[in-house]
Amino acid sequence: MTAEPLLLVGELNTPTVWPASAALAPGGDIAVARVSLAELAERYGTPAYVLDEDEVRARARAWRRALPDAEIVYAAKAFLCRAIVDWMEQEGLGLDVCSAGELEPAATRGLPPERIVLHGNAKSPQDLRTALRLGVGRVVIDSACETARLAAQVQGPDTQQVMVRVLPGIEAGAHPKIRTGADGQKFGLSLADGSAEDTIARVLGRPRLELVGLHCHLGSQITEPGPYAEAVRRLVAFLAGLRDRYGVTLPELDLGGGFAVAYLPGDPAPTPTEYGRLITGTLASACAEHGLPVPRLTVEPGRSVIAPAGIALYRVLAVKRSAGRVFVAVDGGMSDNPRPALYGARYTVRRVGRASDAPMRAATVVGRHCEAGDVLAESVELPEDIRPGDVLAVPAAGAYQVSMASGYNMTGRPPVVAVSGGRSRLLVRRESFEDLRARDVGL
């Protein structure tokens, strides 16, 4: 396929919104990794999700370069399948999981279990049993009652390495529903009210548990490195207090993830190098101030690795004009992307596969589901001649869309397709009506 340079594509000239390989192709199309998006829509149907494999790998490597002495673990909740496990293992990343279900692909693909971190505010007995059976590297304790429950399940002479998730009291993140570093929410244990120290004392009293460090997660879509530096300062001061009171020097510090990506052209999205430079510099100076050795650092990028590599493809089903607004209804919606309905996420949208000279007009892209809130993108610029059958491409779609997909209206979850070097291959097939019927056993 002949593709024009990215420089000619207007808003596509923002590599953090579209994959770096995106280029304008003949007929108003876009090629990613030299594969036509319009042709992918025809071959695999819509809605469908496309992942640029080389973009995913490049972003994983960027984190390794930015923090060469740290452990980088990919946050599986952003999106996980067996191919992703392979890519992360091959690029030297570990895996951060929240359930036995997320552990299963890692186990079946041979990722070394010591490179896996399990956390979650309410781990089930199955989650803990599976983690212990597989030999997961670290379990992150999120509540005092979890301490005894985990210790009781550790068998034999070996201990289980654990971290304690603490709340450093920092407000960070793009929306209140995705801010997880301040007091008064379901995650973690507060530094301010003493619950974190109380739980740490309990862990230290359990010989089957080996406390190796602290964990925190500030939130999601954090657009500047500053909150991470402040978290480092507070956590290092806390580590110094633990040393003085309990005589322990913890060797690890996990700062979680939450690193921002651009969903609209111009959105702030610092590079891994920008995050890494401030975090490591602050960590070194804070440890020197308190007379502590620098702990081994772990970070958990998920969205920043996978989101910019993904593109959602939809087909227009209807165009409606009402009260001065244009509604473009597509064959997906909140069942494959609940983020706009959950916390007002915004996206870039572009028609692909048909060129025209029609002027651009503001439109609202809506889904097919029976909810007034089923809106995928508000006030996006689309050609005035948009019509049923057109294909729409939504970039920055790799994270928290397929992984959060639901069965609403029994439409079936979409497939995931990887592209690389001019070729495509199916990673996750479309959920069929037969799949849905097979689960219905109540006759």
pLDDT tens by residue, 67-103: 999 999 999 999 999 999 999 999 999 999 999 999 9
Residues in a beta bridge with 313: 48, 393
The reported pLDDT for the residue numbered 11 is 46
Every domain of the chain and the residues it spans: 6-52+308-439, 53-305
Cβ neighbours for 442, distance < 8 A, ≥ 6 positions apart: none
Cβ neighbours for 325, distance < 8 A, ≥ 6 positions apart: 363, 364
At 9, the pLDDT band (50, 70, 90 cuts) reads very low
> DSSP string covering 134-167, please?
HT-SEEEE-SHHHHHHHHHH--SS--EEEEEEEE
Residues in a beta bridge with 330: 316
The string of pLDDT tens digits covering residues 217-275 is 998 889 899 999 999 999 999 999 999 999 999 999 999 999 999 999 989 999 999 99
Cβ neighbours for 387, distance < 8 A, ≥ 6 positions apart: 316, 319
Cβ neighbours for 135, distance < 8 A, ≥ 6 positions apart: 113, 114
What SS3 class is residue 402? helix
pTM for this entry: 0.93
Total Cβ atoms within 10 A of residue 64: 14
Residues belonging to the active site:
370
6-52+308-439: which CATH topology? Lyase, Ornithine Decarboxylase; Chain A, domain 1 (2.40.37)
Domain 53-305 has CATH 3.20.20.10: yes
Give the span between the Cα atoms of 332 and 342, in whole angstroms: 16
